[in-house]
Amino acid sequence: MAVDYDIIDLVSDLLQSEQAGAFHFMTEADPYINRAEAELRRPLLAMVQSTIRREGELAAVIDELGSTPPPPAVSKENQYLAFLSIDFLLPKLRDAKLSSIRNYEKAMRIAAGNEMVTGVFEQHLREHRVELEQLERALSHLKGQPPLPSTPMHGRV
């Protein structure tokens, strides 16, 4: 199979945007996520796990295409998101999810006809859309609610 460098670059760009995205850094937000209400906590933890899995799948596609995945990108803006309260994070996470959806939609248009990558892109795009719906529900739930604490509650009875 001939190496298609345009497709490799496209998949690499998607991988780097996943790696630099807000959800990648949410792996460090476990203490804050765990204090969130259960109906927020479960979907957020699932989104973090899905992000890591998608990163692995994109890296595997790059490998299958005959290239090496790029090193993880670091976003100076997002690296501190994991330490903010859920109330503040949810709008940022929604914006990040919308950006991911736009990136995948663009990638689908560019890669049209390449069945190897479009199948992966379609699956990831479906997941991103479901996760966006979950974030929208969480945001609507938080409206009118008091802010969730952003510091540990030591000594609570």
Spans of all domains in the chain: 5-72+80-142
Domain 5-72+80-142 has CATH 1.20.1260.10: yes
List Cβ neighbours of 86 (8 Å cut-off, separation of 6 or more): 32, 33, 35, 36, 40, 44, 142, 148
Per-position pLDDT tens, the chain of length 157 = 555 879 999 999 999 988 888 787 776 555 556 666 666 778 888 898 999 999 999 999 999 999 999 887 666 665 566 566 677 788 888 999 999 999 999 999 999 989 989 999 999 999 999 999 999 988 887 776 655 444 444 443 3
pLDDT, residue 34, reads 60
Longest dimension (CA), the chain: 64
pLDDT, residue 12, reads 94
* C-alpha separations of 83 from 10, 118, 138 in Å: 31, 35, 19
pLDDT, residue 151, reads 42
